[in-house]
A and B are shown apart, each in its own frame.
Chain A
Amino acid sequence: MLTLSKQKQKQKHKQLLAVISLLLAIVSGSVLSAETKVLVLLSGESDIYRSLLLGLQSTTAATPETTITFVARQVDDENAKEVRWDNYAVIVSVGTKAARQLLKVPPKTPVLSVLVPKTTYESLLHDSLLHEKGGEEKGRDDLGPDQTLNRFSVIYVDQPYSREFVLARKLVPDLRSIGVLLGPNSSKNLPQLKEEARRHQLILNKVEVDETRQDNRDIRDLVRESNVILAIPDPVAFNAQRAKWLLYQAYQQRVAVIAFSKSYVDAGALAAVYSTPEQIGRHAGEVLQAMLRDPNYTAHSDFPKYFSITVNDSVAKSMHLQQPDLEQLRQEISQAELLREQRLGHGSPE
């Protein structure tokens, strides 16, 4: 429900933003100049960010209607602090650190944040909104929280749970029960998990862990009770030790682990649905174009549109599972998501 109300709000915000932008354009004399400058704020020097940026650039370059000039800045760069946000049409933040930086003092320029975990982004956004309210009190900002929200689009780094569920269903034929290990962040999404389990008619077993608790026995029990363990991204639940321990238990009891990352598959999980930085960058490029094209663009929160599937062959073999056609599997998942969106779109009130 919350989601629906937000969407409405977003639309309103969009409209308002469009009006203001138009006005501004008239005043300034040129709203859409031939050169559009985009600031890319990177969280660090990691290759992941570079790959993503490359994906972004190549996507925008494919549509030559507008010339986009990317100015890349790192969060830790001293110059970044003096950057005048107003000079840019859109600011793209890459990574959690950049997103946090931007959301601390939100600019008036539309922002697209990528590569941020969903729970993290939500908490950051929450904090930012609170901050805006405080600023309103001081008379600094004339924009309301809705308007602010409307400027911030995001592409999460997480995969939607449905994809893992579908993958689990596809890989493990007689799937009945599913186990999840939840940490402080991921436990918030329990309802969605439950909803998905219900949808797939699966029993959902869960163990909630925190940083201090000694929960090895619980995890062993969880694995024992479930046909498949779905790994839900949470840094606390899936610290190195627990991730290992889980794999160890799963391996001992021949229980498949469906993961959210290629790394975990490499470590011993059966399979994973995940997005590469390029895929995310491509998605981000599409969103950026849309944002630049439509002055009244409504802010979106999206899961990665493009994704990949990987299977640990050794694990699959040891579990006597058939080697699936990964591409076909991906398409099936994509189609299932489309159908579901349509169904939701049909079913969802406008």
Chain B
Amino acid sequence: MVHLSKLTPSSWDFKTRVFVLAVAPVVLVAVILSSYVASSRMQDVEQSLLDRGNALIDHMARMSEFGLFTGNQDLLTSLTQSALVDNDVSKVMIFDETHSVIASSIRSGDVGALSVKLASDDERNNDYLFIEKPIYDSGVQAFDFSEEFAVPSDNDVSRTHQPMGWVEVVLSSRSTKERRKEILLYSLLITLFGLIVSISLAVRISHGVTGPVRRLSLMERKLRGGDFGARVEVKSGGDLGVLEEGFNELARTLGRVDYQLKQQIKAAVEELTKTVAKLESQNRELDSAKNAALRASEAKADFLAKMSHEIRTPMNAVIGFTELLRKTKQNREQVEYTRTIHQSAQQLLNVIEDILSISKLESGTDRVQRMSFDVRNCLEDVVSMLGPTAHRKSLELVLLVDSDVPERLLGDPGRLSQVLINLVNNAIKFTPKGSVTVEVSLEALVDHVARLRVSVMDTGIGIAKGNQTDLFAAFVQADSSMSRRFGGSGLGLTIAKRFVELMGGDISFESELGRGSTFRFRVSCDLDVSTEISDYATILQHVVALIYDGNPFSRRAIRNNLLLAGASTFVSRTLAQVPAMLEGQDGLPQSYNVLILSLGASEISEPDLEECVVSIRRIYSGPILILVSREDYELSPTMVKDGMISSAVKPVRRDTLYLKLHTLSHQNKDHTGLDALRGGSPDLNSNLSFNKYHGVKLLLVEDNEFNRILVSTLLTQKGLCVELAGDGQQAWMAARAEKYDIILMDIHLPIMNGEEATRKIRTTDGPNRDTPVIALTADIFSDKQGGLTAAGISDFVFKPISEDKLFEKLDLWLWKNKASPQRDSALTSGLYQAQPIQEMLLEAEGSSVAPPPVPEHLLEKLYQELPLRRVSLADAIEKGDFKLLLEQAHQLNGVAGYFAFTDLALKARALEKAAASGNTREVAINYHAVSLAIETIVEEHGEE
């Protein structure tokens, strides 16, 4: 079966092509040539027979003319006989003019010729060829003038054209036919022979070409199959031989290369296997090492947590009892010893606290928060907190915030505070005299990202160049002797650095031995564009202030703040210059309506100050704000009597400054500037009526004594009339007895809880049936089910109680049904919640002393309360009661926040969060931080 595609030339294989190429032309030429030669040869033979016949008959016609003319029969017969010499001639006949035979000769034995019929010229019988020709008498011309001799009546002319007879020749075509057959046969034989020879040659040649090619292609297939041992037999000569040898060489090379490659791959694989095995074992080792490290790390953390607990618990006891000891009657020596014990224990706790912070940082569990915060508040909190420490060392602590620093940012205020606390603490620690200045500036504001630069400059002992390198390393202090001199774990800077880095900032410092150091850190925070920012620009619009401050930084800080609020400021560098300026001796207009005397620590004694004020009063009757660097400063009775003199502790918070100034201006009834101020702010004016809360009766229901004191103090300071109840029962009783404008109800109460009490008040027909009841609760989810609201609670104030929040709610409910100037929107509470200036101004109405507006006895109470709180925290931890811990921490947070112990508040809040998360380690770490903060506060108090 031949496939059909094999018939088309394009699908022929190489062999067929070569064969066809070799054979086809030969066959074609042979067939054409041989057929041409044969046919022409046959035609020649026939033609030659015909030619011979014609020649013969011509000859016969001429020869027989005479015989016929003379009637010589013998002559004619011999003529016909002679014609038979030619073998092809079968018969010759001569006829006279009447067509009767005169002479004829027939080849003997040629029987066929006898019976042949006479036919016309050239006609061919099957085997015979007939030729006939007439015989004419040729004659000669005898006359020169033949025309003259012509006989007119003669028919001589026609006679001469009449044939005198005919000759007929019969040619036998037998031999011709035989000849033709012979030719055909020979042609075929020759062609056949030629074809056989050429085909065999073609086959041989094609074998010579295709054979090697086939062998080569076979070998190529083998090579492709990977059989590199395959060789082709070198048979051919010439190019093909070279090709075959080339193929063999190629195969050898390929085999060699293949072998080498395999060897290489094998070697590489072996090596790789080894490497992999090695890596695996290394990995295993690493893994185990890592696990070991992790375990070690965990063990370390555990150890630290345990240790902190194990150490701190007894240490707390030591400190607690030391404090108790201090309260007992002691002689001088004993007091000294006790103090030393207390201090050492405190230091030990600080060290442990720092170590815990570090380990927490190193374990990477610390995360940076991102929340909206008031930049100035945050900074001022820190500075205010550390102010007393500085003041104790008679150092001036200045906060200088550039006016272009944004009000609110998104970031981690806690971390920021901690860094600043550490740095400022450090600065205070190493500065024996002079000042510590915190300068905050906006380095860049690009695409709502503000980069703040905070510099803490001191005039301290400085750091020798040689000791500067490892300053931020853990447990390193500039001089080992320093730790002896200054104490501390040496971890403060390290922690600060870690925190800055955690916030994505950087920290650096420059220092000169004996002249002071400057620590500088930079952090980037996003702008908080969502929160409405208070506009201070016109608050002090009509204030023309004369500022005295000996410290240029402090002076600048005060001046900046005043300018920011739209006030006009003038400065005096010396106290002595002030009277002259007030008199207008310096050529400046005497239109000051506020005098600010900002005094450095121990700059002037109290009697001197009083004398100075008295002398000023002679030439200046306007308001005077005295800023002092002592917490315990109190205005002398003379000054209080003056009514136009107020004081504040440096570094003064901006808002405090504004409030004080505003209050003073308000009191200056004669002053047109303040009238203008009132006129300019009618809303403010109406709301600034004195003792807004005066006469407002309030029932405070709170079981916690501390809280009770705290809140009631706040309220009474504002002029409210506060009655107290310790539990729900008492509250209900009180509510039945007397009508209150508003009731503040703690929910968690003994005997009868707040919910129950409220319900009773609401349900019973009493005077306070419709009195607004504001719940005080630490649990923001307390009204999850709406039970409290159902019971009749009007609103909530969440603990820790924020003063702002509290009064906001009071305002809301006290004037709810009147034309309230307050904004109706309920603002969410928060530690760093923005305080609109208007509210702050209201807050300031009933108080002339701020912040913190905490009476001494309350503070004393706090100092006693804090160690107890710490103990109860420790108890809760020990019991593993995180819920309790959470509540305790929450309350502590509130208390600390209220007393402006920012550090403690932050730490308490962190502890609260840790308690909420249930992470033991976090709890332990944060507890120690809280504990340490409490220690610090208590210790500082004790030192005073």
Chain A residues with a Cβ under 8 A of chain B: 43-44, 46, 48, 95-97, 115-117, 120, 157, 211, 216, 231, 233-236, 238-241, 243-245, 247-248, 259, 261-264, 267-268, 274
Taken together as a complex, chains A and B put the C-alpha atoms of A243 and B146 apart, in Å, by 13
Q: Please name the residue on chain B nearest to A220 by beta carbon.
A: B70
Taken together as a complex, chains A and B put the C-alpha atoms of A234 and B482 apart, in Å, by 189
Whether A247 and B149, one on each chain, are in contact in the complex, defined by CB atoms closer than 8 angstroms, is no
Known: A263-B142, A264-B140, A267-B140. A43 touches B147 (CB 8 A): yes
Q: Which residue of the partner chain, among A116, A247, A259, contacts B148 with CB atoms under 8 Å?
A: A116
Whether B147 and A244, one on each chain, are in contact in the complex, defined by CB atoms closer than 8 angstroms, is no
Whether B156 and A239, one on each chain, are in contact in the complex, defined by CB atoms closer than 8 angstroms, is yes
Q: Please name the residue on chain B nearest to A236 by beta carbon.
A: B151
Chain B residues with a Cβ under 8 A of chain A: 66, 69-70, 137-151, 154, 156, 160
Whether B160 and A95, one on each chain, are in contact in the complex, defined by CB atoms closer than 8 angstroms, is no
Known: A116-B148, A235-B149, A239-B156. A216 touches B69 (CB 8 A): yes
A sample of 10 inter-chain contacts (CB < 8 A) reads A96-B147, A96-B150, A117-B148, A157-B145, A211-B154, A216-B69, A236-B151, A240-B160, A262-B144, A263-B146
Q: Which residue of the partner chain, among B139, B144, B156, contacts A244 with CB atoms under 8 Å?
A: B139
| Residue of A46, A211, A235, A247 contacting most chain B CB atoms (<10 Å) | A235
Whether B142 and A264, one on each chain, are in contact in the complex, defined by CB atoms closer than 8 angstroms, is yes
Taken together as a complex, chains A and B put the C-alpha atoms of A143 and B156 apart, in Å, by 40
Whether B147 and A243, one on each chain, are in contact in the complex, defined by CB atoms closer than 8 angstroms, is no
Whether B144 and A261, one on each chain, are in contact in the complex, defined by CB atoms closer than 8 angstroms, is yes
Q: Which chain A residues lie closer than 8 Å to B145 at the CB level?
A: 48, 115, 157, 261
Whether A240 and B137, one on each chain, are in contact in the complex, defined by CB atoms closer than 8 angstroms, is yes
Q: What's the least CB distance linking A122 to chain B, in Å?
A: 14
Whether B148 and A238, one on each chain, are in contact in the complex, defined by CB atoms closer than 8 angstroms, is no
Taken together as a complex, chains A and B put the C-alpha atoms of A204 and B677 apart, in Å, by 202
Q: Which chain B residues lie closer than 8 Å to A236 at the CB level?
A: 151, 154
Whether B69 and A245, one on each chain, are in contact in the complex, defined by CB atoms closer than 8 angstroms, is yes
Taken together as a complex, chains A and B put the C-alpha atoms of A79 and B833 apart, in Å, by 163
Whether A247 and B140, one on each chain, are in contact in the complex, defined by CB atoms closer than 8 angstroms, is yes
Q: Which chain A residues lie closer than 8 Å to B143 at the CB level?
A: 233, 235, 238, 261, 263-264
Q: Which residue of the partner chain, among A44, A120, A248, A263, contacts B144 with CB atoms under 8 Å?
A: A263
Taken together as a complex, chains A and B put the C-alpha atoms of A285 and B84 apart, in Å, by 64
Known: A120-B148, A239-B156, A240-B137. A267 touches B142 (CB 8 A): yes
Q: Which residue of the partner chain, among A233, A235, A259, contacts B154 with CB atoms under 8 Å?
A: A235
Taken together as a complex, chains A and B put the C-alpha atoms of A239 and B69 apart, in Å, by 14
Whether B141 and A241, one on each chain, are in contact in the complex, defined by CB atoms closer than 8 angstroms, is no
Q: What's the least CB distance linking A248 to chain B, in Å?
A: 8
Q: What's the least CB distance linking A113 to chain B, in Å?
A: 11
Known: A216-B69, A216-B70, A235-B154. A240 touches B140 (CB 8 A): yes
Q: Please name the residue on chain A nearest to B164 by beta carbon.
A: A241
Q: Please name the residue on chain B nearest to A269 by beta carbon.
A: B142
Whether A95 and B147, one on each chain, are in contact in the complex, defined by CB atoms closer than 8 angstroms, is yes
Whether B154 and A240, one on each chain, are in contact in the complex, defined by CB atoms closer than 8 angstroms, is no
Q: Which residue of the partner chain, among B138, B142, B148, B154, contacts A95 with CB atoms under 8 Å?
A: B148
Known: A211-B154, A240-B137, A240-B160. A231 touches B142 (CB 8 A): yes
Q: Which chain A residues lie closer than 8 Å to B146 at the CB level?
A: 263
Known: A233-B149, A235-B150. A243 touches B141 (CB 8 A): yes
Q: What's the least CB distance linking B149 to chain A, in Å?
A: 4
Q: What's the least CB distance linking A131 to chain B, in Å?
A: 17
Whether A157 and B142, one on each chain, are in contact in the complex, defined by CB atoms closer than 8 angstroms, is no
Q: Which chain A residues lie closer than 8 Å to B160 at the CB level?
A: 240-241
Q: Please name the residue on chain A nearest to B143 by beta carbon.
A: A261
Taken together as a complex, chains A and B put the C-alpha atoms of A48 and B144 apart, in Å, by 10
Taken together as a complex, chains A and B put the C-alpha atoms of A297 and B160 apart, in Å, by 45
Q: Which chain B residues lie closer than 8 Å to A48 at the CB level?
A: 145
Q: Which chain B residues lie closer than 8 Å to A245 at the CB level?
A: 69
Given contact pairs A240-B156, A267-B140, a sample of 14 additional A-B residue pairs in the complex whose CB atoms are under 8 Å apart: A46-B147, A96-B147, A120-B149, A157-B145, A231-B142, A233-B149, A240-B139, A243-B140, A261-B144, A263-B146, A264-B140, A264-B141, A268-B140, A274-B144
Taken together as a complex, chains A and B put the C-alpha atoms of A332 and B923 apart, in Å, by 190
Q: What's the least CB distance linking B276 to chain A, in Å?
A: 132
Q: Which chain A residues lie closer than 8 Å to B148 at the CB level?
A: 95-96, 115-117, 120, 157
Taken together as a complex, chains A and B put the C-alpha atoms of A157 and B142 apart, in Å, by 14
Q: Which chain A residues lie closer than 8 Å to B70 at the CB level?
A: 216
Whether A238 and B139, one on each chain, are in contact in the complex, defined by CB atoms closer than 8 angstroms, is no
Whether B139 and A239, one on each chain, are in contact in the complex, defined by CB atoms closer than 8 angstroms, is yes
Q: Which chain A residues lie closer than 8 Å to B147 at the CB level?
A: 43-44, 46, 95-97
| Residue of A43, A216, A240, A264 contacting most chain B CB atoms (<10 Å) | A240
Q: Which chain B residues lie closer than 8 Å to A97 at the CB level?
A: 147
Q: Which chain B residues lie closer than 8 Å to A263 at the CB level?
A: 141-144, 146
Q: What's the least CB distance linking A115 to chain B, in Å?
A: 6
Q: What's the least CB distance linking A264 to chain B, in Å?
A: 4
Q: Please name the residue on chain A nearest to B151 by beta carbon.
A: A235
Taken together as a complex, chains A and B put the C-alpha atoms of A243 and B151 apart, in Å, by 16
Taken together as a complex, chains A and B put the C-alpha atoms of A87 and B66 apart, in Å, by 57
Q: What's the least CB distance linking B153 to chain A, in Å?
A: 10
| Residue of B69, B137, B147 contacting most chain A CB atoms (<10 Å) | B147
| Residue of B69, B70, B141, B146 contacting most chain A CB atoms (<10 Å) | B141
Taken together as a complex, chains A and B put the C-alpha atoms of A239 and B142 apart, in Å, by 7
| Residue of A115, A117, A239 contacting most chain B CB atoms (<10 Å) | A239
Q: Please name the residue on chain A nearest to B141 by beta carbon.
A: A263
Q: Which residue of the partner chain, among A44, A216, A261, contacts B142 with CB atoms under 8 Å?
A: A261
Taken together as a complex, chains A and B put the C-alpha atoms of A274 and B148 apart, in Å, by 15
Taken together as a complex, chains A and B put the C-alpha atoms of A32 and B550 apart, in Å, by 192
Q: What's the least CB distance linking A61 to chain B, in Å?
A: 25
Q: Please name the residue on chain B nearest to A277 by beta carbon.
A: B145
| Residue of A43, A46, A244, A248 contacting most chain B CB atoms (<10 Å) | A244
Q: Which residue of the partner chain, among B69, B142, B150, B154, contacts A243 with CB atoms under 8 Å?
A: B142
Q: Which chain B residues lie closer than 8 Å to A211 at the CB level?
A: 154
Whether B139 and A241, one on each chain, are in contact in the complex, defined by CB atoms closer than 8 angstroms, is yes
Known: A216-B69, A240-B160, A241-B69. A117 touches B138 (CB 8 A): no
Whether A240 and B69, one on each chain, are in contact in the complex, defined by CB atoms closer than 8 angstroms, is no
Q: Which chain B residues lie closer than 8 Å to A235 at the CB level?
A: 143, 149-151, 154, 156
| Residue of B139, B145, B156 contacting most chain A CB atoms (<10 Å) | B145
Q: Which chain A residues lie closer than 8 Å to B150 at the CB level?
A: 96, 235
| Residue of B66, B140, B142 contacting most chain A CB atoms (<10 Å) | B142
Q: Which chain A residues lie closer than 8 Å to B154 at the CB level?
A: 211, 235-236
Taken together as a complex, chains A and B put the C-alpha atoms of A248 and B139 apart, in Å, by 10
Q: What's the least CB distance linking A170 to chain B, in Å?
A: 21
Q: What's the least CB distance linking A174 to chain B, in Å?
A: 26
Q: Which chain A residues lie closer than 8 Å to B156 at the CB level?
A: 235, 239-240
Taken together as a complex, chains A and B put the C-alpha atoms of A43 and B146 apart, in Å, by 13
Please name the 10 residue pairs, one residue from A and one from B, whose CB atoms are nearest each other, closest first: A240-B139, A243-B142, A261-B144, A267-B140, A238-B142, A235-B149, A244-B140, A264-B142, A96-B148, A235-B151
Taken together as a complex, chains A and B put the C-alpha atoms of A251 and B541 apart, in Å, by 181
Q: What's the least CB distance linking A180 to chain B, in Å?
A: 14
| Residue of B141, B144, B160 contacting most chain A CB atoms (<10 Å) | B144
Q: Which chain B residues lie closer than 8 Å to A268 at the CB level?
A: 140
Taken together as a complex, chains A and B put the C-alpha atoms of A48 and B69 apart, in Å, by 33
Taken together as a complex, chains A and B put the C-alpha atoms of A203 and B148 apart, in Å, by 30
Taken together as a complex, chains A and B put the C-alpha atoms of A115 and B146 apart, in Å, by 11
Q: Which chain B residues lie closer than 8 Å to A115 at the CB level?
A: 145, 148
Whether B137 and A241, one on each chain, are in contact in the complex, defined by CB atoms closer than 8 angstroms, is yes
Taken together as a complex, chains A and B put the C-alpha atoms of A300 and B287 apart, in Å, by 174
Taken together as a complex, chains A and B put the C-alpha atoms of A238 and B145 apart, in Å, by 13
Q: Which chain B residues lie closer than 8 Å to A238 at the CB level?
A: 142-143
Whether B139 and A243, one on each chain, are in contact in the complex, defined by CB atoms closer than 8 angstroms, is yes
Q: Which chain B residues lie closer than 8 Å to A95 at the CB level?
A: 147-148
Taken together as a complex, chains A and B put the C-alpha atoms of A256 and B444 apart, in Å, by 163
Q: Which residue of the partner chain, among B139, B142, B149, contacts A117 with CB atoms under 8 Å?
A: B149
Q: What's the least CB distance linking B67 to chain A, in Å?
A: 12
Q: Which chain B residues lie closer than 8 Å to A117 at the CB level?
A: 148-149
Q: Which chain B residues lie closer than 8 Å to A120 at the CB level?
A: 148-149
